[in-house]
Amino acid sequence: MKEEISRVRLSYGRALSKRQFLDRFYELFMSSSPIVARKLALTDIAKQQELLSQAVNMVILFPQGNKIARNAINRIRQSHNRDGLDIRPEYYRFWIDSLVLALSEHDPDFNDELDRAWRKVAQEAIDFIVEGH
């Protein structure tokens, strides 16, 4: 896992250096399902993107047991649960698919191995968030 995390961090850095990356992720996520679009309809996109770029860092640091990441992901677990935003477990697939697709378009070194590494790393935080639903 350690090996995957460092490759994923480098990949994220390369993608973030491209101005369009976060816009594209948001656009893909919005259009991935009418339910996601409806949930996100009232959000402030600029604010959301700033939070999102931070949140992805927390998702990456989570599997190593990083304390700050654990707290951040725990907050997301609470805000997204059935008493809050009520994000059902099946919507997280749209989130990771959109992220990986946006990465594949913006990280010039993206490949199948990185695709698998991203999904493996992100699954830990997703499982933890979903368990709290």
| Residues found near ligand HEM in the complex (CB under 6 A) | 36, 39-40, 43-44, 48, 51, 55, 59, 75-76, 79-80, 85, 87, 91-92, 95, 125-126, 129
* Cβ distance to ligand HEM smaller for residue 44 or 108: 44
* Cβ distance to ligand HEM smaller for residue 90 or 109: 90
The CA-atom distances, in angstroms, between 6 and each of 73, 76, 84, 99, 117 are: 19, 23, 33, 17, 10
Cβ burial of 16 (10 Å; 0-12, 13-18, 19+) is middle
Q: What gap in Å lies between CA 103 and CA 71, rounded to an integer? A: 25
* Cβ distance to ligand HEM smaller for residue 39 or 120: 39
Strand extents, DSSP E, 31-133: none
Distance in Å, CB of 42 to ligand HEM, minimum? 7
Distance in Å, CB of 112 to ligand HEM, minimum? 22
Look at the block and give the residue holding tokens 């499982």: 127
Distance in Å, CB of 95 to ligand HEM, minimum? 4
Backbone region of residue 36 per phi and psi (left: phi > 0; alpha: psi in -120 to 50; beta: other values): alpha
Distance in Å, CB of 23 to ligand HEM, minimum? 16
* Cβ distance to ligand HEM smaller for residue 91 or 110: 91
